[in-house]
Amino acid sequence: MDSRSDLSDPEVVARVLNGEQEAFGILIRRYEPGLLRYAARMLSSRDLAEDAVAEGLVRAYRHLASCRDPSRLRPWLYRIVANRCKSYLARRDAGDVSLEEAPPLADPVDNEAAVEQAEQMALVQRALATLSAEKREAFILKHVEGMSYEEMAVVTGERVPALKMRVHRAREALLQALEEHQ
Amino acid sequence: MNPIDPRVHQALDGEIPRDTLPPELRRQAERLEAVAALLAETPAIESVAARVMATVARPAPTRGRRLVRWFVTPHAIVLRMRPLWSVALAAGILFLAFFPVRETGPRLGQEEGVAQFVARFPDARSVAVVGSFNDWRPGSIPLEDVDHDGIWRASIVLPAGTHEYMFVVDGERWVADPLAGRYIEDDFGRENSLLIVRPTKR
Amino acid sequence: MKALGLLLLAVLPLSAQSVRARLEGRVPASSIVAIDSLVRVAAAENLPTEPLIQKAIEGGAKHVSGDRIVRAVELNLDQYRQAQALLVRAGDAPPVTPAEVAAVVSARKRGLGAPVVERIVAAVPDERRSSALHAVADLVGHRFDPDSATALILEAVRQGMHGLRLLDVSNAAILEIQRGRTRAEALAAIRRDLPNVAAAPAPARAAVQRARRPVAATGREPSGP
């Protein structure tokens, strides 16, 4: 493994800004899995998630110097990818791009437990898709990406009390959707 | 939409312990957590790392790049040369092959290291680093913005150990380094950035 | 011994002069006498003197008034005395050196409480202490609980780590929270890995090659670690 992956975020940012372009790869390795997961859950599409994350990371690289607090790089990156996701969702509303309505089918599985898990996942994804984009984002950031309300504030630009309320509403809507889909 | 009992929210936000919930409410909290756990599984999506790195490595062509392109594109080049010059040229190439150019850069002592300063000041006319290592003398260690992108850099040999510093922008504005990660009270109502230089082995 | 005494007599007034000479033009003239006498008091009490001179010059460079500069130097002198007392209280082996005092004051200014510093002083021998204090201060600066941060670094010391390696431990824990782990998870993960925490990488070759020496470098000894 690249020994430089043990640098802290501000150190990696300093190296990238100092002309070590390849050091940006460390940040990609560090945050890409979470960003892809976030985008996939937001957009219900692998292809669009890849596009949103790739575009977001390129944008992050180009504007890296404007990240005011590099010790909080993670929520800053999520903010950029979240904005890409929002623009895809807006284009879907306008009919520019088509999203897969149903979540992708699970790979063929021969194990009963895996089948059940795949079914559960499909159910959860359908329930999640019924939430408004704002609520879906709030639930994912809080419970899937494990962010604090303060980090969520950096991602969304909203204030903490508003986000808390949004997470509460998201939990309620999700429980209800799960009951209806069951 | 059915409101959830506020205690479920409190438990999920870590404000009250989970086991204080009555069984029915605990089931709701667990249901939501199970959903989160399912969604937290990493989806099978290909990495976009190669795509991103290829894009960022493709800057707008600069003069240097155009020159490189000229060199790698086939051209017909005719050289007319007296045999004597071709012998001299061959001797020169041989000399370079046997006496390669030495590694450049400063010789570092055992207790010295390299500190890299980077800062973004898009509208600055000058940026300098001042600190305990240069007797707080503004201007003695200027940062450079060679390509005029607003990012100022300096790579400086310093004694290994702890140093306090700040940036001075346009000779008058004192600013802490946002990339420092370590800060210390300066006793004048602000904070200095703190740098720990490790000895660099070459 | 007599010769040493004579030598000291010859050197002392000179160094007092050199303090004034260094302050000349760097701090308001009206404050030089007061700063000089504070530096001499520090020397007599075996407390750090160079950081006091630096603090005064720093204030002058920042265009702070003479009064405030003198107050800052007084405050530092007072903090040195408190640090000296703390070191004695925590059982530091005498004599208490200026470098040890400076390390404690630096840690206190970075936000470590006296009980935490005392705990580290009592547990870590002098030459390792400065890095241990910085490592704990790094963690506390990233909102780790001071007691858990101290426990992690002292555990690293117990396992034979010292010097800059202790900063690798705090760096590793900070990296874990940047990757999205909670502070408790980060501490547990790093504690499990001890003492096999990755070492800080060397600066890039290109950065070393283009490094230059500061023109006005003073060449004075910096404080540890």
Q: Chain A residue with minimal CA distance to B42? A: A37
Q: What is the pLDDT along chain C (225 residues), one digit of tens a residue?
A: 444 444 444 444 445 568 898 999 999 999 999 999 999 999 999 899 999 999 999 999 999 999 999 999 999 999 999 999 999 888 887 788 888 899 999 999 999 999 999 999 988 877 678 999 999 999 998 889 999 999 999 999 999 888 889 999 998 998 888 877 888 889 999 999 888 888 877 777 777 878 888 765 444 444 445
Residue A126 half-sphere exposure, CB side, CA atoms within 13 Å? 15
**pTM (two decimals):** 0.67
Indicate the range of A39-43, B119-123, C1-5, C49-53 predicted with least confidence. Answer: C1-5
Q: What is the DSSP letter of C212?
A: B
CA A150 to mean position of chain CA atoms:
16
C-beta separation of B170 from B159 below 8 A: no
Chain A within 8 Å of B40 (Cβ-Cβ)?
A: yes
Per-residue pLDDT tens digits for A72-105:
899 999 999 999 998 888 877 665 554 444 444 4
DSSP string, chain B: -PPPPHHHHHHHTTSS-GGGS-HHHHHHHHHHHHHHHHHTSPP-----HHHHHHHHT-PPP-HHHHHHHHHHS---------HHHHHHHHHHHHHHHHSPPPP-SPPPPTTEEEEEEEEE-TT-S-EEEEEGGGTT-TTSSB-B-TT-SSEEEEEEEEESEEEEEEEEETTTEEE--TT---EEE-SSSSEEEEEEEPPPP-
C-beta separation of B187 from C55 below 8 A: yes
Per-residue pLDDT tens digits for B33-91:
999 988 888 777 888 888 888 888 776 455 666 666 666 666 655 556 677 777 777 77
Tokens describing residue B140 = 């003695």
What is the sign, positive or negative, of the torsion defined by CA atoms of A146, A151, A155, A160?
positive
DSSP string, B107-134: PPPTTEEEEEEEEE-TT-S-EEEEEGGG
C-beta separation of C177 from B174 below 8 A: no
C-beta separation of B12 from B19 below 8 A: no
Chains in touch with C (≥3 Cβ pairs < 8 A) = A, B
- How close is the nearest chain A Cα to the Cα of B99, in Å? 30
Q: How far apart are CA C168 and CA B88, in angstroms?
A: 55
Q: Chain C residue with minimal CA distance to A23? A: C204
Tokens describing residue C51 = 């950081």
Chain C within 8 Å of B20 (Cβ-Cβ)?
A: no
ipTM: 0.84
Q: How far apart are CA C57 and CA B25, in angstroms?
A: 64
Do the Cβ atoms of A8 and C204 come within 8 Å? no
Task: Pick from C57, C106, C109, C215 the residue to mutate for testing the B interface (most B CBs within 10 Å).
Answer: C109
Do the Cβ atoms of B55 and A54 come within 8 Å? yes
Do the Cβ atoms of B114 and C167 come within 8 Å? no
Phi-psi region of C46 (alpha: psi -120 to 50; beta: other; left: phi over 0): left
Q: How far apart are CA B191 and CA B178, in angstroms?
A: 11
Per CB-CB distance under 8 Å, the chain A contacts of C142 are 71
Find the radius of gyration of the CA atoms of chain A. Answer: 18
C-beta separation of B198 from C200 below 8 A: yes
Q: How far apart are CA B48 and CA B41, in angstroms?
A: 18
